[in-house]
Structure formats: structure tokens, C-alpha cells
């Protein structure tokens, strides 16, 4: 551990500065090496090599979205991963070498000849530190510089330099974020992360990408230790555009609109709407995060205006106050969110209810029993063909009632909005079936809470506190790359408590990265 320069006794003292207890009271759930998701891989290549190809998305194995793409427990090494990593590494290297301007910027020196080992050595040291997110040892540098013989053979300096890149981009320490840290005396399996590891955690959490030189410099100077230092570093990262993209992606995966079942044009319009809303509330105006769910203003273009039954904004696209049928407000009223959880070519009140319970309320809905055919919509128990009556079958049966009563009545509160988010008064396939649009949410203080439409549902979830509480849990999962475990409960509770005061997402993120538990890791089993 090259970065630990203090004698061990001092380190232990530093850790226990808070009291007489010789063992720090840190509790954090076990973690393991986290592989870069496809998105993180592509972001990382962009930042390391000025490579905008986003090639990892095409070639790396698909990530499991559950709902986030970075749960390390779902990541398995495989032959196709290793093959793809090799191909991607050489292709990225070749792209860089084919672009002299970018190449010179990344290499950082001008070789005096094919066999210039000084230039190669300086490149290995600087690029190696970026790629592996830690300084290389002299031994390691020597190994990479040995590629110079291939440069000489080819009479081309950039052959060896390209091999350096290809080797680093295949290194398990590049493909995985492997954390070690320093063991905490008296706490089996608990490790204090070193500064480089903390800088890496910060960068991948807030940017979804690799730490920049400033972060690595801070790590080198042991300046990512104290909560104040971490906070300052995180604030800097949050001010970068990469943070906006990351937060947008977090919401898209969490709320399910990461992939939309529409044309590229409509998908782009919908994604722009949610992205603008998040940027405005979180970054531009610094409002409470909950305003995402109550905002009466939205950013739409002509396509969405038509979908929502609203006038097209002046200039074709812009901020407007919601009008048109259905009393829209906030994230749950957007076409993006309402397009999630469709089934059978229509909205599925069950799926929408499940989405709200699991994603927005952090509850668990058990899967249907094995003797249920979920490939067919409910047929109903009466002669009525109206959807609300057909779905009543779900709750007529005693064994189905328990779960479906948690889901279907919630979904029916959004039923006036079809599977693209357009407002409707009647069932898609039967104009004689008038949709009441009334929903019931069971299990809150008033049982049930009756609501009408997404705007009211959003307000109820905010006012009850359940949504903001759930955000804390979901953000924790996203930040840590795994579902919370019992050891994480204390930290999540503390974050939730402080979030009830700040109510701001960036503040929550800063609290998270400065929490003690963020700076430790617990070995698995």
C-alpha cells in the first residue's frame, strides 16, 4: 500500500479519534470488486482517450438492470467479456493513433524516434496512473516500457504506445474497481479505503467515469481523507456537466424510462423533458428534490405538446405551464414515466402499481404464484368487458387479493393516461367504458388514500415522506453498487434523517460521500 505513509499506530489513532473505544463503530454492508458497467466503460474511454465512440455499449456483455446497471453481484467474468475487452482495447488504441491531434494530447510528449524510451516512460507513468487510478510502481512502468522493442521493430514509436494502452485497458484493475484499503485493527474484514480508492468511488458515483488528474493529485497528497476534503472534492465534481448526465441516468434507470418503447424522435422528446426538469430542479435552481414530483412547469416540444393536448411552446420547444386535460404536474405526469410498465398493448394497472410500490416506495411485491399465467390479461368474472371490471378478477380471488390490492388500485389512478402518456376518457378498445381515474393507495396513514391522477399521487408520496425515504435507499444502491444489507441500515437511516432537513439531492449526495461508511469497505463473507 504505497500511499500509506504513516506508521500503523498513527493510523489506528486517527481512526479512533472519536472516543475511548479502540474499535471504530463503522457498519457497512459487504462489497466486492465492481466491474465498469458499459456506460461507465464508455465514459471512461471518453475521459482517458478523448474517445467518443461509446464502443463498449456495442461489444461488452449487456449489464443487468435491476434497476441499476452496476450491481456487482450480477456481474460474472466470462470468455465473451475478456474477448470483448481485448478487441475494444486494441480498437480504442488504433482510433487514438489515427488522430494525431488527440494522440499527441494523450501521449503528452513528442518522441525523438521510434525507440524513445523517455517519452514512452513518461506516457506510461501519467497514463497508467489515469487508467489504473493509482500510481504505477517502477517495476510496473518498466514492464510497459519493454513494449518499446516492438516500436523499434516497426520503426514506429506509437506501436509500443498503443500496446501500453491496449494492456492497461485490459487490466483487471482497469475493468474492475478493486478496493483493498488498510485493515482496521479489531474489526475483521473491515478496511479503511485509501485516498485513490476514495477518489475513484467519488468519480464513478458522481460522474460515472474515471477520476481526473485533480482528484488523483488530491489522492497523492493524502487530501481525500477528511469529510471536509471529500465534500470539497464532491462539490467540484457536482459542478461538472458529467454529474448532470449521471443524475439523469440515475433517474432514468430508477424510474424505468431508461429504454422507451417509442420512435427515436418521441423517445428523445420525452427524455429531454425529464432531463430538463431534473437539471432545473437539482442543478439550476437548487430546489428541494421533491419538486420534481410537483412541478407545474415542464419543458416540451411540439411533439409532446400534441401528445399532452397543449399548445406548442413559442419557438417550438421550451418551458411552459402544464395545461390540457388531466391536471398534470411533476415527473409522474411525463410521457417518459407513463410509458413505463405497459403490457398487452395497453397500460397495465398492475404493472404500474408494482412499479410505484417497488421503485418509488421501496416495497417488495411478491411474484405471482407459479400457477398463474401472466401472459394473458385478466378475463374478468362478469359480462362487462371494461378494463376496470376485468381487472376486478385479480381481487375477487382471495389468494390474489392481498398482492393485487397493493398494485391494481394504484395503477387505476393513472388509468386516464395511456401507455404513451396521452390523456384519455375511455378504454382504448371500448368507448363505452368511461375511466374514472380514481386510485387508492393502501398502507399509508389514511388507509386508503384516494387520489386522482399522477399529480395527486406524486404529492401524496412526497407528503407521506415515503418517496424521499425511498430515494435515499435507491441512491445508496446506485452509489454502492449493490442492494442494501442489514449492516447498511444505520447509514441509510442517518442519511434519510438528514435528507428530511436538506431535501436537496446534491446535499444528500454530499452527505453520502462524507459518511463514515462510504470510506470503508467490508470484505464479503
Partner 1 sequence: MAIKLDRRTVLRGIGGTVLALPLLEAMTGRKTARSANPTIPKRYILCFGGQSLGADNDPIHNMYVPTTIGANYDLKVALAPLANHNNIKNEITVVSGLKIPTAYDNGGVIPAGGRADDFHINSLSPLLSGTSTSDGRIHGPTSDQLVADAIGSGTTFKSLVYRVQASWYLDQSAPYGRDVISYRMNGSTLTGIPSTVSPRAAFDSLFVGFTPVDPAEAARREFMLRQRKSVLDLVSAKTEKLLPKLGTSDRQRVQRHLDEVRDLERRISAIAPDGGGACQLLGDPGQDPAVGGNQTVNGGTGFDVNAGYSNEEARATMLVDLLHMAITCDLTRVGTLQFTMAQSHMNMYPLIGIPYDLHEIGHSSHGTMGVSQGIAWHMKHFARLVAKFRDTPEDIGTMLDNTVIVMVHEGGHGYDPSAAKTYSSHCTENMACLIAGRVGGLKPGRHVVAAGMHPANVLITAMNAVGVSTNTLGQVNGTIPALTS
* H or E, element range at 48: helix 38-49
Q: Does 283 bind partner 1 (CB under 8 A)?
A: no
DSSP structural state of residue 146:
T
Asked whether the beta carbons of 485 and 29 are under 8 A apart, the reply is: yes
Residue nearer to partner 1 on the CB measure, 371 or 501: 371
What is the smallest separation between the CB atom of 501 and partner 1, expressed in angstroms?
35
3-class DSSP state of 319: strand
- Among the listed ranges 37-45, 81-89, 315-323, 477-485, the one in contact with partner 1 (CB under 8 A) is 81-89
CB of 464 to partner 1, least distance (A): 25
C-alpha 525/C-alpha 194 separation (Å) is 22
C-beta neighbour count of 18 within 10 angstroms: 9
Q: In angstroms, rounded to a whole number, what is the distance separating the alpha carbons of residues 343 and 387? A: 13
Task: Name the DSSP letter for residue 366.
Answer: P
How far CA 133 is from CA of 43, 127, 162, 232, 430, in Å, comes to 15, 9, 19, 19, 60
Rounded distance between C-alpha atoms, residue 394 and residue 341, angstroms? 17
Whether 388 contacts 435, CB under 8 Å: yes
Segment lying near partner 1 (by CB under 8 A), choices 75-83, 386-394, 469-477, 507-515 = 75-83
- Residue among 421 and 460 whose Cβ is closer to partner 1: 421
Name the segment binding partner 1 (CB under 8 A); options: 46-54, 82-90, 284-292, 389-397.
82-90
Q: Residue 199 and residue 204: Cα distance in Å, rounded?
A: 9
Q: Given the complex with partner 1, which of 186 and 345 has the nearer CB atom? A: 345
CB-side neighbour CA atoms (13 Å) of 511: 21
C-beta of 517: minimal distance to partner 1 in Å?
Answer: 18
Continuous segment of H or E residues that includes residue 177: strand 176-177
Nearer to partner 1, 19 or 366 (CB): 366
Which residue number, 33 or 125, has a Cβ lying nearer to partner 1? 33
Measured in degrees and rounded to the nearest 5, phi and psi for residue 427 equal: -55, 150
Looking at residues 338 to 357 of the shown chain, list those that interact with partner 1 (rule: CB under 8 A). Answer: 339-346, 351
Among 10, 25, 52, 78, which residue sits at the site for partner 1 (rule: CB under 8 A)?
78
Output 122 or 170, the one with its CB closest to partner 1: 170
Binding mask 495-524 for partner 1 (x = CB under 8 A): ----------------------------xx
- Closer Cβ to partner 1, 373 or 501, answer by number: 373
Joined together, the cell numbers standing for residue 87 give 478487441
Nearest to 403 by CA among 455, 470, 467, 353: 353
Within 10 A of 186 (CB to CB), how many other CB atoms are there?
Answer: 13
Write the binding mask 31 to 50 for partner 1: x where contact by CB under 8 A, - elsewhere.
Answer: -xx-----------------
In degrees, rounded to 5, the angle at the alpha carbon of residue 291 between the alpha carbons of residues 285 and 294 is 135
The per-residue DSSP string of 393-445 comes to: HHHHSHHHHHHHHHHHHHHHTTTTB-TTS-B-SEETTEEEEE---EEEETTSS
Binding residues for partner 1 restricted to 54-73, rule: CB under 8 A: 58-59, 61-62, 64-66
Nearer to partner 1, 58 or 489 (CB): 58
Q: Is 501 helix (H, G, I), strand (E, B) or coil?
A: helix
H or E element, residue 228: helix 227-238
Stretch 168-207 residues interacting with partner 1 (CB under 8 A)? 170-173, 175-176, 178, 180, 189
> Which residues 150-169 are close enough to bind partner 1 by CB under 8 A?
150, 153-154, 159, 162-163, 166-167
The span of 99-107, 313-321, 333-341, 464-472 binding partner 1 (CB under 8 A) equals 333-341
- Note whether 87 binds partner 1 by CB under 8 A: yes
CB contact at 8 A, 234 and 510: yes
The total number of residues shown for the chain amounts to: 525
Build a one-symbol-per-residue string for 356-375: x at contacts with partner 1 by CB under 8 A, - elsewhere.
--------------xxxx-x
Q: Which is nearer to partner 1, 96 or 341 (CB)?
A: 341
Min. distance of Cβ 457 from partner 1 in angstroms? 19
Cβ nearer to partner 1, comparing 376 with 501: 376
- Convert residues 428-467 into a mask of x (bound to partner 1 by CB under 8 A) and - (unbound): -x--------------------------------------
Q: Which of 56, 111, 256, 458 binds partner 1 (CB under 8 A)?
A: 256
Q: Which of 213, 241, 259, 319 binds partner 1 (CB under 8 A)?
A: 259
The binder of partner 1 chosen from 10, 13, 23, 80 (CB under 8 A) = 80
Binding residues with partner 1: total (CB under 8 A):
66
- Residue of 201, 195, 202 whose CA lies nearest to 135: 195
Q: Specify the residue for cell string 474489526.
A: 187
What residues make contact with partner 1 under the rule CB under 8 A? 32-33, 58-59, 61-62, 64-66, 76-84, 86-87, 89-90, 140, 143-144, 147, 150, 153-154, 159, 162-163, 166-167, 170-173, 175-176, 178, 180, 189, 256, 259, 261, 339-346, 351, 370-373, 375-376, 419, 429, 523-525
Amino acid at each position: 500500500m504505497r500511499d500509506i505513509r504513516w506508521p500503523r499506530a498513527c493510523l489506528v489513532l486517527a481512526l479512533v479519534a472519536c472516543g475511548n473505544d479502540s474499535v471504530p463503530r463503522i457498519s457497512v454492508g459487504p462489497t466486492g470488486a465492481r466491474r465498469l458497467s458499459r456506460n461507465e466503460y464508455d465514459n471512461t474511454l471518453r475521459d482517458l482517450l478523448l474517445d467518443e465512440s461509446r464502443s463498449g455499449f456495442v461489444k461488452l456483455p449487456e449489464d443487468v438492470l435491476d434497476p441499476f446497471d452496476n450491481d456487482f453481484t450480477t456481474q460474472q467474468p466470462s470468455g465473451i467479456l475478456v474477448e470483448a475487452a481485448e478487441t475494444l482495447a486494441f480498437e480504442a488504441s488504433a482510433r487514438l493513433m489515427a488522430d494525431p491531434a488527440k494522440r499527441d494530447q494523450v501521449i503528452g510528449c513528442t518522441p525523438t524516434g521510434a525507440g524513445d524510451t523517455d517519452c514512452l516512460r513518461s506516457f506510461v507513468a501519467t497514463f497508467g496512473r489515469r487508467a489504473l487510478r493509482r500510481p504505477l510502481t517502477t517495476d510496473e512502468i518498466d514492464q510497459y516500457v519493454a513494449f518499446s522493442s516492438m516500436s523499434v521493430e516497426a520503426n514506429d514509436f506509437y506501436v509500443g504506445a498503443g500496446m501500453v494502452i491496449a494492456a492497461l485497458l485490459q487490466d483487471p484493475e482497469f475493468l474492475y474497481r478493486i478496493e483493498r484499503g488498510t485493515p482496521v485493527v479489531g474489526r475483521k474484514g473491515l478496511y479503511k479505503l485509501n485516498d485513490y480508492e476514495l477518489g475513484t468511488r467519488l468519480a464513478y458515483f458522481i460522474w460515472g467515469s474515471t477520476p481526473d488528474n485533480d482528484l488523483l493529485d488530491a489522492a497523492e497528497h493524502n487530501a481525500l481523507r477528511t469529510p471536509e476534503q471529500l465534500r470539497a472534492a464532491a462539490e467540484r465534481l457536482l459542478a461538472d456537466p458529467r454529474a448532470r448526465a449521471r443524475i439523469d441516468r440515475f433517474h432514468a434507470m430508477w424510474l424505468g424510462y431508461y429504454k422507451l418503447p417509442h420512435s427515436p424522435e418521441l423517445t428523445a422528446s420525452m427524455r429531454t423533458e425529464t432531463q430538463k426538469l431534473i437539471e432545473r430542479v437539482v442543478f439550476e435552481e437548487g430546489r428541494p428534490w421533491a419538486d420534481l414530483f410537483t412541478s407545474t412547469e415542464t419543458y416540451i416540444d411540439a411533439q409532446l405538446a400534441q401528445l399532452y393536448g397543449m399548445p406548442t411552446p413559442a419557438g417550438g420547444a421550451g418551458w411552459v405551464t402544464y395545461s390540457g386535460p388531466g391536471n398534470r404536474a411533476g415527473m409522474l405526469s411525463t410521457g417518459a414515466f407513463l410509458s413505463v410498465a405497459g403490457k398487452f398493448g395497453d397500460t397495465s394497472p398492475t404493472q404500474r402499481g408494482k412499479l410505484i410500490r417497488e421503485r418509488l416506495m421501496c416495497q417488495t411485491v411478491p411474484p405471482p404464484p407459479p400457477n398463474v399465467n401472466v401472459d394473458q390479461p385478466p378475463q374478468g368474472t362478469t359480462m362487462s368487458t371494461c378494463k376496470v371490471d376485468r381487472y376486478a378478477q385479480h381481487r375477487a380471488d382471495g389468494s390474489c387479493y392481498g398482492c393485487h390490492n397493493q398494485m391494481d388500485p394504484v395503477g387505476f389512478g393513472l388509468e386516464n393516461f395511456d401507455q404513451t402518456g396521452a390523456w384519455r376518457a375511455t378504454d382504448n378498445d371500448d368507448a363505452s367504458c368511461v375511466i374514472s381515474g380514481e386510485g387508492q393507495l393502501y398502507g399509508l396513514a389514511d388507509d386508503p388514500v384516494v387520489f386522482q391522477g399522477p399529480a395527486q399521487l406524486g404529492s401524496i408520496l412526497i407528503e407521506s415522506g415515503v418517496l424521499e425515504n425511498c430515494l435515499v435507499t435507491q441512491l445508496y444502491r446506485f452509489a454502492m453498487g449493490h442492494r442494501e444489507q442489514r449492516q447498511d441500515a444505520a447509514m441509510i437511516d442517518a442519511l434519510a434523517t438528514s435528507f428530511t432537513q436538506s431535501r436537496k439531492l446534491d446535499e444528500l449526495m454530499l452527505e453520502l460521500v462524507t459518511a463514515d461508511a462510504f470510506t470503508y469497505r467490508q470484505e464479503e463473507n
